[in-house]
Amino acid sequence: MTRKNETYPLQPPRERGTGRAIALAVVMHVLLGFFLYHGIHWQNSTPAGEEAELWTEVPDLSTPKPLPPPVPVQPAPPPPKTEDADIALQQQKRKQQQEAAREAQLAEQQRVKQQQEAEAKRQQQLAAQQAAQLAAQQKQAKLKQQQQQEQQQAAEKLKQQQQQQDALKKQQEEEQQQKQAKLDAQKKADADKAAKAKAQADAQAKKLDAERRARIAQMQGAMGGGEGSSGNGLAKSGTGSGSGGNAASAGYAEKVQRRVRPNIVWAGDTAGLETVVSVHCSPSGTLLSATITRSSGNSSWDDAALRAVQRSDPMPQDTDGKTPSSFKITLRPAG
């Protein structure tokens, strides 16, 4: 097998099998001379006659048949001279050697060409594999980069949504705080207003009570203030009756309601509240006393109802020009 040279890989191949080709040519020439000799000798020999005995019926030969024309005998070629045969053998041997060398050279060239084509094909396949691998790597890198971009965009979108939710939550909390602050302020204002109204009502009640006490003392002084009086200088109390025992008219209760109702100051609950206040007055309508005879169960509302009665002094007079000495007022908060 031919070994490739690293420096000159395309050197002409060395001829192989020269001795074998020469030996084969000598054998072929010997055989050729042997066959030529025996062929010429066989053609020059005279064939021997042969006899045959027939056991079948002899055909009728009375009518002679025409004989076929004789076959001309070609003379045998003269045997070649020995010198001419040697020259022909040498020329044939040389020609065979040249043809064998040419065939070997062509075979080697064909083998080298096939090797070159196989190497070129292998290089092409290797280049195609490298190109495909590079394209796959580029595609994978591009896909990875695209996935990273999508993940980054999703993270940014999620972050924006979280920020929006936080901002909305913060805004709702601020609105709730503002609403709660307003509600607290309103409650505080209502409480302050109620406290102020209660203070004013207490002050007014104290003032009215002091005035009432002063009028009572004045009336007691005018009536003599004796021990034999009824205890407060008033007529005997009775529901719906005035001084002297005269009954109140049918529309007097409505007059009292119209007088007391505008003086009610109440900002609380109104459901189920009902208070009955017992009132004692002088014939001129001056309020002598006011007490709660039936509570509503809510002391704040009871106090507000009692203050409304005290603010209504003097009470309205009846159709006879006098105010009943005692009567009861049922008060409910406006709702």
C-alpha pair distances (Å), 85 with each of 3, 81, 99: 42, 6, 20
pLDDT, position 93? 87
* Lowest mean pLDDT across 55-64, 121-130, 291-300: 55-64
- Is the pLDDT at 237 greater than 60? The verdict is no
Residue 271 is given by DSSP the state: T
Six-digit token string for 335: 């709702």
Query: In whole angstroms, what is the distance from residue 317 CA to residue 252 CA?
Result: 8
DSSP string, 176-195: HHHHHHHHHHHHHHHHHHHH
- Is the pLDDT at 13 greater than 70? The verdict is no
Q: How would you list the strands of the sheet with 287-294, edge to edge?
A: 287-294, 275-281, 326-331
- Is the pLDDT at 126 greater than 60? The verdict is yes
* Lowest mean pLDDT across 80-94, 136-150, 234-248, 250-264: 234-248
**In terms of pLDDT, which residue wins out, 86 or 170?**
170
pLDDT, position 127? 93
* pLDDT tens digits, 175-193: 888 888 888 887 777 777 7
Segment 4-13 shows an average pLDDT of: 56
* pLDDT tens digits, 71-111: 665 665 555 556 677 788 888 888 888 988 889 989 999 89
From 199, 292, 285, select the one nearest 242 (Cα to Cα). 285
- Is the pLDDT at 214 greater than 50? The verdict is yes
Six-digit token string for 128: 């195609």
pLDDT, position 120? 93
**What is the reported pTM?**
0.33
**In terms of pLDDT, which residue wins out, 59 or 334?**
334
Say if residues 292 and 298 touch (Cβ distance below 8 Å): no
**In terms of pLDDT, which residue wins out, 240 or 273?**
273
pLDDT, position 185? 83
C-alpha 307 chain-centroid distance: 68
- Is the pLDDT at 278 greater than 80? The verdict is yes
pLDDT, the chain, mean: 77
C-alpha 61 chain-centroid distance: 123
- Is the pLDDT at 283 greater than 50? The verdict is yes
Helix (H, G, I), strand (E, B) or coil at 97: helix
pLDDT, position 230? 30
Say if residues 322 and 235 touch (Cβ distance below 8 Å): no
Six-digit token string for 293: 């005879």
